[in-house]
Structure 1
């Protein structure tokens, strides 16, 4: 037979903590707080003036056969800093630094062209195009220049200099200062 219910006993000691539960979902964002106070005044900014030099020139007329000498492009598209001399066909460095130069040369029919970029009279890079039909050649170079260095394009030889251009400017030469030397 079942007996009577006994009196309630004393509370036992707490057991050990269980393992952590699963991470719950992220809650909704809270309300925007109050605007903070004004911060302290910062230091005066220093302005480092980067020298600027850039040019793009071209033939907007047909140059035809060109002598082996600096190419004097008659059309000045851009000459920021006036460092390209239209009379000599040469770029003269005024701000030492790293420069990028690029040229494109065009020819017509079966005429051949070989063009070079020269620095102070030394060949740096060239392009050669031969064959029938209209041709074009181009090249690009990055140069470290010091003040008064000269850079220009010219035909590489007397035999490969039958250039063609017109208002569409198939022959061009460009350069710009990438960054100045410290």
Structure 2
């Protein structure tokens, strides 16, 4: 059997520190650090005082001439100057040859007499028509008139029973309708190109049915050339009566020309 010798170590006193060693070589650069957090915006500074105005600078050199502008409007012609003095011929002292006026021509024949003009230079348009016989119609039927009292300008047609504007302007229209029957209450519209402008109604209130009744209306319209105006029934079975004493009439005239 192998014997093991155990050495007993005694506690020793530490020795003195040795001399410092030589400086080591610098280490490698470390990795870049992370970006820091963005700071808050600072408070806007106060507006500074306005500085004094500086002295005016020297006048700069004159720039190049601009392009020629367009021609202006022609001015008003000047007054005609006095006529010149006629020249003289050579040594004989006679006036120069400037052309003598020719002899007067014989008078021409008289022209045809022109038509008479409108009074005051304004054109005229007016009409007045009368119904002398009764008429029964349905809604939309045109009232007819058999007597033309006035038709200045010829703008009312006896075939269509319509007024057609030939002179643009402001017109006045009036009409009267009559009825003596209690069985019908005629509704009559004044029309302008298919548009209703005013209405007249004859209403029977007496049960006897023999009272002479009339209704009238009037309107002022602005018309252009080609506009048409006429009267028409407003409901079916309407009856309008006409008499020799002009109880049912239609008229119109030009008030102001445009």
Query: Which of 228, 235, 244 is the aligned partner of 1:167?
Result: 244
1:142 paired with 2:142, answer: no
Query: Which of 170, 176, 179 is the aligned partner of 2:253?
Result: 176
- The residue that corresponds to 1:77 in the other structure is 149
Query: Which of 137, 149, 162 is the aligned partner of 1:90?
Result: 162
Pairs aligned (count): 133
- The residue that corresponds to 1:53 in the other structure is 125
- The residue that corresponds to 1:11 in the other structure is none
> Please, what TM-score do these two structures have when normalized by structure 1?
0.69
Unmatched tracts of structure 2, length 5 or more = 1-118
CA distance in 1, matches of 2:233, 2:214: 13
Higher relative contact order at CA 8 Å, sep ≥6: structure 1 or structure 2? 1
Tell me how far 1:72 sits from its aligned partner: 1.9
CA distance in 2, matches of 1:112, 1:70: 17
1 or 2, which has the higher strand percentage?
Answer: 1
Residues 23-57 of structure 1: CA deviation (Å, up to 9, x unaligned): xxxxxxxxxxxxxxxxxxxxxxxx96211000000
Tell me how far 1:178 sits from its aligned partner: 0.2
The secondary structure found in structure 1 opposite 2:121 is: coil
The secondary structure found in structure 2 opposite 1:106 is: strand
| Aligned ranges 1:99-114 → 2 under 5 Å | 99-110=171-182, 111-114=184-187
Unmatched tracts of structure 1, length 5 or more = 1-46
Residues 79-129 of structure 1: CA deviation (Å, up to 9, x unaligned): 000000010010000000000000000011313111110000100000112
CA distance in 2, matches of 1:74, 1:144: 27
Question: What is the root-mean-square deviation in Å for CA atoms of aligned residues?
Answer: 1.4
CA distance in 2, matches of 1:176, 1:72: 19
CA distance in 2, matches of 1:77, 1:144: 24
The secondary structure found in structure 2 opposite 1:178 is: strand
- The residue that corresponds to 1:151 in the other structure is 229
CA distance in 1, matches of 2:216, 2:234: 13
Tell me how far 1:61 sits from its aligned partner: 2.1
